[in-house]
Homo-oligomer: A and B are copies of this chain.
Amino acid sequence: MTNTAFLEACAAAIGAQHVLTDADDAAPYLGDWRRRYQGAARAVLCPADTAEVAAIVKLAREHRVALVPQGGNTGLAGGATPDASGQQAVLSLRRLNRVREIDPHNNTITAEAGVILADVQTRALEAGRLFPLSLASEGSCTIGGNLSTNAGGTGVLRYGNTRELCLGLEVVTPEGEIWDGLRGLRKDNTGYDLRDLFIGAEGTLGVITAAVMKLHPQPAARVTALAGLGSAYAALDFLALAQRHAGPLLTGFELMSDFCMQLVGRHFPQMRYPFQTRHAQVVLLELSDNESEEHARTLFERLMQTALEEGLVEDAVVAESLAQSQAFWDLREHISLAQSQEGLNVKHDVGVPISRIGQFIEETDAEIAREVPGARMVTFGHLGDGNLHYNVQAPVGGDPKRFLAENEKTLNRIVYDSVQRHRGTISAEHGLGQLKVDEAAHYKSAVELKLMRAIKAALDPLNLMNPGKVLR
């Protein structure tokens, strides 16, 4: 009866056709993209605008119904999936899909939470600007989800995470009030930074309904290059050299171990390995140049010349065309696909200080070799951000499912303990969601957890905003 009353009130607020209770209608919202989590819900609620979101939050508060905000449902940590109780309601933001304003002189775009990331990129491009956030799911993830998880992606080295791209927010608070913080200002020192508190909170402190995002000038050209190196240590020195030469023009610096390259070659034989010999590590570099392709290429050639002379790189190739630039990126982007083809694996989205990357890989590899013989490390990532996808593939032969079932816990413990020793993070860009909430509680200090809990209790004392995510 309470449920009926709640659903009727929701239907009155947003229209009955936007309160999904039919199992088939609701299904796409109840499981996560990686199919790790399957939840249930009283209903999936699809308000059309901010006022309707506020109305729903007020009703949920009145009826003590927990809400699970959801954008494009592409998250990798189960943050947007309801629990199995069937007592929660999914709050889908997809109908909030208007671009409210583009201001080229202010280099900003104001978009509602449900706007697809690729659409933000397109609208920026049409205005002669760049919106640099870019990630694999950009065709279906939403800007609200990007903000709530502080998504990373491939442009972080130069442009920062989603957090650094946001100037202002509109948020529906847990009380159902609308906070209009939609400021398009580069500087504003008038009190607590509420914006950054809601960013990355995964919907546990309120519902982001719109945002003012920063735009950048469109570069005249993007050019990539590949370099073969003897070790991850050499890659660190090479990064410093590249930054000295290119400064902020360096927009990509991706590390890929030789085993990554071997996997790509094995499962995608049409993809050409660009060097004569094997190299322990391959680095992909990208320059975004405001002058010209020629200028970028000249800069690359000078950099590679110096790096070869200093013995930092063993071989290098600069893309001759846009197609070749894309082919280099394809190598990088096919690693995950090649991993899937190769079979089951355990993924880790970790970060350490950039200076520790060589040591982290060496020590962690050695410990895994000792404790979990046969495990094969697939190590790649955004070296320029200190973010490694340190994945572990089951050994050749045997039963990979059984191997992982027996060893996943040990592998996680080894990797995360090593991360902790190097003052790193167990979730660099994917967030905590429900996947890592216990791991986070294990590794965070008591003081930090206490501060987080105090903030959660202050803003959401009824614990109705995405409960069980981020914090327990």
Chain A residues within 8 Å of B, Cβ to Cβ: 103-108, 128, 149-150, 152, 156-158, 160-161, 163-164, 173, 177-194, 196-197, 199-201, 205, 216-219, 236-237, 239-240, 243-249, 288-291, 299, 351-356, 382, 384-387, 423-432, 436, 440, 444-445, 447-448, 450-452, 454-459, 470-471
Bound: A450/B177 CA distance, A: 11
A194 touches B454 (CB 8 A): no
Most buried by B among A104, A200, A457: A200
Bound: A216/B158 CA distance, A: 11
Q: Which residues of B contact A105 (CB under 8 A)?
A: 236-237, 239-240, 354-355
A342 to chain B, nearest CB (A): 26
Check A106/B247 contact, CB under 8 A, given A353-B184, A428-B187, A455-B192.
Answer: no
Which residue of the partner chain, among B107, B354, B451, contacts A194 with CB atoms under 8 Å?
B451
B185 touches A432 (CB 8 A): no
Q: Which residues of B contact A458 (CB under 8 A)?
A: 454-455, 457-458
Which residue of the partner chain, among B150, B247, B451, contacts A459 with CB atoms under 8 Å?
B451
A459 touches B454 (CB 8 A): yes
Bound: A149/B249 CA distance, A: 30
Q: Which residues of B contact A299 (CB under 8 A)?
A: 291
A201 touches B192 (CB 8 A): yes
A197 touches B200 (CB 8 A): no
A152 to chain B, nearest CB (A): 5
B173 touches A106 (CB 8 A): no
B185 touches A106 (CB 8 A): no
Q: Which residues of B contact A351 (CB under 8 A)?
A: 185-188
A185 touches B424 (CB 8 A): yes
A456 to chain B, nearest CB (A): 8
Check A353/B103 contact, CB under 8 A, given A191-B444, A430-B189, A431-B189.
Answer: yes
A452 touches B193 (CB 8 A): no
A353 touches B187 (CB 8 A): no
A54 to chain B, nearest CB (A): 11
A452 touches B191 (CB 8 A): yes
A183 to chain B, nearest CB (A): 6
A231 to chain B, nearest CB (A): 14
Q: Which residues of B contact A387 (CB under 8 A)?
A: 186-187
Bound: A457/B424 CA distance, A: 31
Q: Which residues of B contact A471 (CB under 8 A)?
A: 191
**Taking CB as reference atom, which chain B residue is nearest A382?**
B187
Of the A-B pairs whose beta carbons lie under 8 Å apart in the complex, a sample of 16, sorted by A's number, is: A104-B240, A105-B354, A106-B354, A163-B193, A177-B450, A179-B445, A180-B447, A187-B386, A190-B436, A191-B432, A192-B470, A193-B197, A217-B243, A244-B290, A246-B290, A455-B455
B173 touches A470 (CB 8 A): no
Most buried by B among A288, A351, A436, A457: A351
17 extra A-B contacts, CB within 8 A, seeds A179-B445, A247-B288: A156-B186, A183-B423, A185-B351, A185-B425, A186-B387, A187-B428, A191-B444, A192-B455, A192-B456, A194-B451, A196-B196, A196-B197, A217-B243, A244-B290, A246-B290, A248-B248, A455-B458
Q: Which residues of B contact A200 (CB under 8 A)?
A: 189, 191-193
A107 touches B247 (CB 8 A): no
A388 to chain B, nearest CB (A): 10
Q: Which residues of B contact A356 (CB under 8 A)?
A: 106
B452 touches A192 (CB 8 A): yes
A262 to chain B, nearest CB (A): 27
Check A248/B455 contact, CB under 8 A, given A106-B355, A181-B448.
Answer: no
